[in-house]
Amino acid sequence: MSRINLKIITTILINSRVKDDKNKWVYRVGYTWSTVVAAAGTRVAYDHRAYLWDDKVEIPGPTKHELKIKYVFIQGRNPGVEYHFFTANKSQVNADEVHWNTSAWELCSEDCAGGYQRRLVECVRKDDGSYVNEKICIKTQSKPMTKRPCNLKPCAAE
């Protein structure tokens, strides 16, 4: 089990995926642009950043189980993968040095009759974008919504 944090950034035309210790996919790339899921005792944040497969996966440690990172090359040669490993350090950060970072809203879970959308909301440092305990952001700013209703109109009669 890992005590480090991991950030993976792919360049182009790579589909990044994560499998758990039971060899099951942690998230389904084909059905989402960005998502955050619970796995191995932590959260796995998948962020699809463009119409090309330009992905970012972030897994803050520690994990309770092994996670496997898989790559699917969409076409051409391997353009490369950027890994960032870092340990949590206990530095003093003031509330004016952090802000809420929000991802784009996911697609609505339903086409009609009420669904929901989710997004990633995290407290990060302004200078380097590293994660900070959300208690620091909450001191000066309330946390933005992470889930909202969508497609509330009734479904058309068949």
Average pLDDT of the segment spanning 130-138: 84
CA distance 71 to 65: 20
Residue 88 pLDDT greater than 90, yes or no: no
User: In this predicted structure, what is the pLDDT of residue 151?
Assistant: 94
| pLDDT tens, residue by residue, 35-82 | 778 888 777 887 776 555 567 788 876 777 788 777 666 666 665 666
**Average pLDDT in the 18-46 region?**
75
Residues of the chain with pLDDT > 70, as a percent, come to 68
- Cα separation, 158 vs 152, in Å, equals 18
Quote the pLDDT of residue 152. 94
Q: What's the confidence (pLDDT) of residue 118? A: 86
What mean pLDDT is reported for the chain? 77
Closest alpha carbon to 118 in 60, 34, 51, 47 = 34
In this prediction, residue 90 carries a pLDDT of 61
Report residue 1's pLDDT band, with 50, 70 and 90 as the boundaries. very low
Question: What is d(CA 54, CA 48) in angstroms, rounded to the nearest whole number?
Answer: 6
Task: Give the closest residue to 67 by CA, choosing from 23, 131, 29.
Answer: 23
Confidence of residue 6 (pLDDT cuts 50, 70, 90): low
The least confident of 16-20, 108-112, 141-145 is 16-20
* pLDDT at res. 5: 61
